[in-house]
Amino acid sequence: MYKFFYLLCFSVLVTSSAFSQEDKFKAVSVGFYNLENLFDYERDTTIRDSEFTPWGKRAWTEEKYNEKLANMAYVISQMGIDVTPAGLSVLGVCEIENKRVLEDLVKQPAIKNRNYQIVHRDSPDRRGIDVAMIYNPLHFTFLDVEMENMNYIFDDGDTLRSREIMHVTGILDGDTTHVLVNHWPSRSGGEKRSAPRRNKAAKKVREIVDRLKASNPNVKVMVMGDFNDDPTSKSIRSILNAKGKAKDVKSNDVMFNPMYDPYRRGLGSNAYRDNWSLFDQIIISPGLLDQKTDGYFYYKAQIFNKKFLIQRSGQYKGYPFRTFSGDKYQAGYSDHFPVIVYLVKKI
């Protein structure tokens, strides 16, 4: 714990009438990143992964896999270091095939020294893509994980086996903290037609958060993920009741969405047909807005859209620089930008 304090203790400016100019704070950073189909290159007959094999339509070889790992690790190594030089304390991820790809990822030279630990469970998703979390054990102590099933049954009897909601409980430098990692159903078939699936996921998240609040009104919860919905969508704005301004969080049934303001200003984490969306979000409970607490509270949020992550030319100039354009390998990063939330506490 002393080493943790040494790594994170530095002055940051927190604008609030509750503090004097002499107050000092330490900070932690928490992120989320859609890794865009981080598959290994071996065939798994239990899932639909044939396209990500050397003989599949994407000709996914060991060399490309290793390059993808290095690219993802480099992005993670850069996330948050402007404010927290030790890097991310917690990172939720989605679009990973299995635990093996995470084990290979955290061993990459760019982040190996951080000794990131893994929280992973296999998903029932038919393509085999999972949600997961990695964490720095100097900053976060893992306690428990629960998976919330999200299967959908349609009128014709067909079942959509979607990604589960991962609920991780741990201690973030003395603060008991709950992290819910999500990857909600896509907009396949159209936004309107697919919306009920995401609304169902939002209701499940709401149930989890309400259950946690019932036992502790000041509980600290971070709901993160690729929601395939924007901050203004019904699932986020109404069902999760996530407000875009902290001052509007006046009761315990409301959450705060720090990604609302960037979205309102036209920023996004992913693009489609020249339209930006902000599907990647980190939403927090009222317990993380209390600046009078002895523990961590919200400082600021960021879409991590550094220049090296942006496509520089061609049809998708200005978009996230992704691994594939269609089936053409580009050696990029991801079709999503990561997002970060910074928390601070007074020292």
From first to last of its 347 residues, what are the pLDDT tens digits of the chain? Answer: 334 443 444 445 555 545 556 678 999 999 999 999 999 999 999 999 999 999 999 999 999 999 999 999 999 999 999 999 999 999 999 999 999 999 999 999 999 999 999 999 998 888 889 999 999 999 999 999 999 987 765 555 556 668 999 999 999 999 999 999 999 999 988 999 999 999 999 999 999 999 999 999 999 999 999 999 999 999 999 999 999 999 999 888 999 999 999 999 999 999 998 899 999 999 999 999 999 888 999 999 999 999 999 999 988 999 999 999 988 999 999 999 999 999 999 98
β-pair partners for 91: 31, 134
Task: Dihedral sign for Cα 151, 122, 71, 44, please.
Answer: negative
Distance, in Å, from the CA atom of 203 to the CA atom of 165, rounded to the nearest integer, reads 12
| 247 token code pair | 């001052």
Q: From residue 120, how far is each of 92, 102, 112, 126, 336 by CA, in Å?
A: 10, 9, 18, 17, 21
Strands (E) across the chain are located at 25-38, 90-96, 117-120, 130-135, 140-148, 151-153, 159-161, 165-172, 175-183, 220-226, 242-243, 255-256, 270-272, 275-277, 280-284, 297-303, 324-325, 328-329, 339-346
Q: Is 95 in contact with 323 (CB distance < 8 Å)?
A: no
Reported as a single tens digit per residue, the pLDDT across 283-327 is: 999 999 999 888 999 999 999 999 999 999 988 999 999 999 988
CATH code of the domain occupying 2-346: 3.60.10.10
Tell me the pTM.
0.93
DSSP state of 129: -
